[in-house]
Structure 1
Amino acid sequence: MARPATGTVVEREGVRGRSYALRFRVGGKRQFEVLGRSPEWDRKKAEQALTDRLAQVRLGIWKPQRPERVEVAPADRSVHVFASAWFERRGHEVSERTREHWLWALSNHLLVVLGETPVGEIGPEEIDTFKRVKLSEGALSPGSVNKALRVLAMIIDDAIAYGIHAGPNPCRGRLLKTSKPRRTWLEPDEAGALIDAAGHHRALLAVQILGGLRIGEVINLRWRSVDLSRAKLTVEASKTDAGRREIDLSPSLLDELKLHRAGATYDGPNDLVFATKNGTHRARGNISKQILRPAIRAANVTREEAGLPLLPVGITNHSLRRSYASLLYEAGANPAYVMSQMGHTNSGLALEIYAKKMEVQRDTGQRMDALVRPDWNGTGETIEFVDVQVGAGAA
C-alpha cells in the first residue's frame, strides 16, 4: 500500500518579503512546490494550498508542477539559483569538511535571507541587511556571520567573473569587527589531570595532548598508521600536505595506545583506532559533548577537592593540540621540530606559543632591570643570569 500524502508549509523571510513553498510526499517521494511571496501569499493561503494538494494526491488527480519555461537573463538569476550552480561547480575541488561548511552557510543563513535576490543586485545594502538579520536573531556570533559572508564573497567573485555581477564585490571590506580569539592550552599538571579524568577515553585525549593530532585526524586514524614497535604514528589524511607526517610517540602516549589496543573491539590494520561501538567514525561534535566536556568537569571536581586551580575556561579539542606544542617547548624542543610534529607550514601558532612559554621561563623583568643597572637587583645585591636553552637552534 502506498504511503498517505503528508506535507508541510515552508516559510522563509528574505529581503524582498516572506516566501512560501510546499514540501509533501506522494507515494513516498518528496515533492517541492514554490508558491510565491508576500503580499500575494500568506500563511493561511499557503496552508489552504497544501490542503488542496494533499486532497488531489488522495484522489489520484495530482500532477507535478510544470511551470512555463522562462528564459532568465543572467543578471536576474537569484542567489539561490546561482549559488546552487556554484556549489556544483566548486564542491569537488574542496574537502568534505569544506563542503559541509558551505552547505551550513548557504542552507541555514545566506539563502534564507538573500535566496530570492538577483545575484547581480547584491550590493552593500543587501550585505548590511544580512548582517543585521543574523545578529538580531542572536544565533550567530560576529565571527560566524563573517564566515557566511566569506562564502557569499566567493560566490559573487564567480558572478563577477561570468559577467553576471558588475562588481566590485560588496562583501569586501564589510565584515563585522571581531575580537581576537583567546587561545587556550593546558599546563603540564593540567594536561595530566585531564587525561586521568577521561576514564576509558583517556587514549583519545592523550593522542591530542601528547601527539598533537587535529580532531579530524583523530577521527580518521587507523591502526595501520600506528607502529607500536617503532613508537611512531603516521598521519595519512590531513587538510594540508604538511599535515601528512610521522609523529614520535612519547613513552606515556605509547603506553596509552598499547593499553587501548589491548582492550579494543576493532584492532585490525584497517580498523579505526577510536571507533564507535559499531566500528564507525565518531562524530566531531560527539567527541566534545560526550568525552572532552565530561572529562573537564571530572578533572575540575578532583582539582577543587585538592585545592588546585580549575582548568582554564574555554578548553576545546584544538586547545589540546596547542597544549602539545606547549609541552614540547617545556620539554626543550625547538620551533622547527614542533612545526614538523604538528604538521604546520605557517610558523605563526608555533612561534606564538613559543614566545609565551619563553616569557614564563625567562625572568624578563629582572633582565630589564639589569640592562639599566647591571649590578643591581633592587636589593643592592649583584645578580647573575643563566640562559634557558630550548632545544637545538633555539634563540
Structure 2
Amino acid sequence: MEKRSHGQIRTHNRKDGLTTYSLRVRAYGRREVVTLGTDADGWTTRKAKRALEEILAEIQVGVWRPPSMSPGGDDPTFHEFASRWWFGRKSELRPTTQADYEWRLRKHLLPFFADFRVSTIRIALVDEYRSEKVIERERITAAAAAGPPIRDRRGQRRVALSNESINKTLVLLANILDTAVEHGLLASNPARGKRRRLKADRPTRRFLEADELAELLAVAGEVDRSARPDQRIGRRRLIAVMAKSGLRVGEVCALRWRSVDTAHQRLVIEQAKTAAGIREVDLSLDLVEELNTWRAVRKPDSVDEFVFATDGGRPRDKDSVRERVLVPVVNRVNEIREARGIAPLPKITPHALRRTYISLMLEAGAPLPYVMDQVGHADSKTTLEIYARRSASRARTSTPR
C-alpha cells in the first residue's frame, strides 16, 4: 500500500504585523513549499488546514501539480492570470458582455481572489467566496432595512446580489480557471460543478396581456401630462416603442431620429449586439402616430438627435428607463388597481415589454420567421419559449375548473 502523504502548515509573523501562511508537503520524492498568502488576504489556520487536506488528497491520487513543476516556474496570482485572460478574451465579447464581465471581475472576484496564487485555489476557497457573498448580501439588506444603506468608497450604494447573480460570478471564475487547467496550473477546475452553485429559482418571465398594455400606456400618458414641463420625458411613447416594436432597451436608448422613417412605417436599427439585430422594424399605424406626435413635441434640430434624449441631449440608459419611466408608471397603475380592488401588475422590466410584443404578435398569427426578424433573434429558441409560456397561460385561464 502506498505511504500516505503528510504535510504541515507554516506561519511567519512579519515586521509589518501581518502573518504569512504557507504549506510544506512531500510529493513525488521531494519537499514542496506552497505559499498561500497573509491574514490580510483572508487566510486563517482553519482555511490553511483545508487547503492542506485538499493538496494531500490530490497528491495521494497523483493529480497534484506543485509550483516547481509549473511551466517556467510560472505561478501567477489570480489577479495576474485573470488580467491576461481578460485582455485575451475582451475583443471577442459584445460591449454589453464586456461591461458585465468587467463588473463581475472588478467588484466581486478580484477583491476576494486577487492575491491568491492560481495553483492554490481549491474547492474550499471557492466555497468560502460563495459564503462570503451570501453573508455580504445579508449585511447589505439588514443595513438598508435599519437605516442608511451601505455604500462603497465612491459613495455608491452597495447592491445585494441574488443567488443567480452570485452564480454568474462563479461561472466567470470557472471560465477563467478552465484556462488555468489548460495551462497546467490546476489539475481540475475547483469552480466547476453544481455543488459550487447556490440554488436559484428560475425567474418568472413576465409579459403583458393586451388590456394590461393599454392600461399601462394610458396611465403613462397621464403621468407625463401631470408632470412639470421639464419632467415630461415621453413615457407613453417610450413604452409604446418597446412594447409595440420589440426593440431592446439599448436599441431604444440609442435610437436617433434619422432611423425613424414614419413615411414608410419603419425603424432602421443600424447598431445591435448581434448581426441578426441589424434590421428594419415595421411600425403599426398607431406607433407611427405616437412617434410623429413626439417629434412635434421635441422639435429636433437634427436627425442625429436621440429620440428619447435626456435634458442634456444624451441617450438614456437602461437604469433611467427603469427608474424614471417604468417604475413611476407601474406604481401609478397599481395605485389605481388597488383602489378598484384589482390585483396589481407585477414588476415590469424593459425586457418584459419586448416579450409582450413577441407574444402578442405570435398570438395574432404572425409567422415565426417574421417575428424573429422583427426582434432580431438569430434562432427560434427564445421566440418559441415566450410563445410556449403564453400558450400555457392561455390554457390555464381557459380550462374549466
Match of 2:283 among 225, 249, 252: 249
Matched, 1:176 2:198: yes
Matched, 1:323 2:352: no
Paired residues for 1:250-329 under 5 Å = 250-266=284-300, 268-311=302-345, 313-329=346-362
RMSD of aligned Cα (Å)? 2.7
- Within 2, Cα distance between the matches of 1:235 and 1:18? 53
Q: Alpha-carbon deviation of 1:348? A: 2.5
Q: Alpha-carbon deviation of 1:266? A: 3.5
Tell me what 1:239 maps to: 273
Tell me what 1:99 maps to: 98
SS of equivalent residue, structure 2 residue 168 = helix
Match of 2:166 among 145, 151, 155: 145
Partner letter of residue 349 of structure 1?
T
Q: Alpha-carbon deviation of 1:308? A: 4.0
Mark the runs of 5 or more structure 2 residues left unpaired by the alignment: 1-35, 45-70, 138-159, 225-233
Matched, 1:202 2:236: yes
Paired residues for 1:47-66 under 5 Å = none
Match of 1:189 among 211, 233, 248: 211
Q: Alpha-carbon deviation of 1:162? A: 3.4
Q: Is the 1:231–1:250 Cα contact (8 Å) retained in structure 2?
A: yes
Q: Is the 2:280–2:374 Cα contact (8 Å) retained in structure 1?
A: yes
* Structure-2 change in CA distance of 1:208 and 1:18 (3 Å): farther
- Within 2, Cα distance between the matches of 1:353 and 1:283? 25
Alignment length (residue pairs): 304
Q: Alpha-carbon deviation of 1:110? A: 0.6
- Within 1, Cα distance between the matches of 2:358 and 2:262? 22
* Structure-2 change in CA distance of 1:122 and 1:273 (3 Å): same
Greater per-residue helix proportion:
2
Matched, 1:345 2:378: yes
- Within 2, Cα distance between the matches of 1:37 and 1:210? 52
Q: Is the 1:266–1:275 Cα contact (8 Å) retained in structure 2?
A: no
- Within 2, Cα distance between the matches of 1:141 and 1:135? 9
Tell me what 2:108 maps to: 109
* Structure-2 change in CA distance of 1:301 and 1:95 (3 Å): same
* Structure-2 change in CA distance of 1:74 and 1:295 (3 Å): farther
- Within 2, Cα distance between the matches of 1:38 and 1:348? 46
- Within 2, Cα distance between the matches of 1:257 and 1:158? 49
Paired residues for 1:159-170 under 5 Å = 159-163=180-184, 165-170=185-190
Q: Is the 2:75–2:118 Cα contact (8 Å) retained in structure 1?
A: yes
Mark the runs of 5 or more structure 1 residues left unpaired by the alignment: 1-14, 20-35, 40-71, 367-377, 379-395
- Within 1, Cα distance between the matches of 2:165 and 2:393? 33
Q: Alpha-carbon deviation of 1:292? A: 0.6
1:263-301 deviation line (CA, Å, top 9, x unaligned):
125352222111111111212212111111001011222
- Out of 285-294 and 73-82, give the one that drifted further: 73-82
- Within 1, Cα distance between the matches of 2:43 and 2:368? 60
* Structure-2 change in CA distance of 1:290 and 1:123 (3 Å): same
1:334-369 deviation line (CA, Å, top 9, x unaligned):
322222211112322322232343345569758xxx
What TM-score results when the alignment is normalised by the length of structure 1?
0.70
SS of equivalent residue, structure 1 residue 180 = coil
* Structure-2 change in CA distance of 1:307 and 1:176 (3 Å): closer
Partner letter of residue 291 of structure 2?
L
Q: Alpha-carbon deviation of 1:151? A: 1.6
Match of 1:227 among 255, 258, 261: 261
Match of 1:154 among 163, 172, 175: 175
Q: Is the 1:223–1:267 Cα contact (8 Å) retained in structure 2?
A: no
* Structure-2 change in CA distance of 1:272 and 1:114 (3 Å): same
Identity %: 39
- Within 2, Cα distance between the matches of 1:252 and 1:144? 39
SS of equivalent residue, structure 2 residue 275 = coil
- Out of 240-249 and 264-273, give the one that drifted further: 264-273
1:249-275 deviation line (CA, Å, top 9, x unaligned):
111111111111111253522221111
Matched, 1:358 2:379: no
- Within 2, Cα distance between the matches of 1:267 and 1:241? 31
Q: Alpha-carbon deviation of 1:186? A: 0.6
- Within 2, Cα distance between the matches of 1:256 and 1:152? 46
SS of equivalent residue, structure 1 residue 263 = helix
- Within 1, Cα distance between the matches of 2:289 and 2:161? 42
SS of equivalent residue, structure 1 residue 149 = helix
Partner letter of residue 167 of structure 1?
A
Q: Alpha-carbon deviation of 1:107? A: 1.5
Q: Is the 1:75–1:118 Cα contact (8 Å) retained in structure 2?
A: no
What TM-score results when the alignment is normalised by the length of structure 2?
0.69
- Within 2, Cα distance between the matches of 1:129 and 1:279? 46
Tell me what 2:248 maps to: 214
* Structure-2 change in CA distance of 1:179 and 1:215 (3 Å): same
Partner letter of residue 195 of structure 1?
L
Partner letter of residue 360 of structure 2?
L
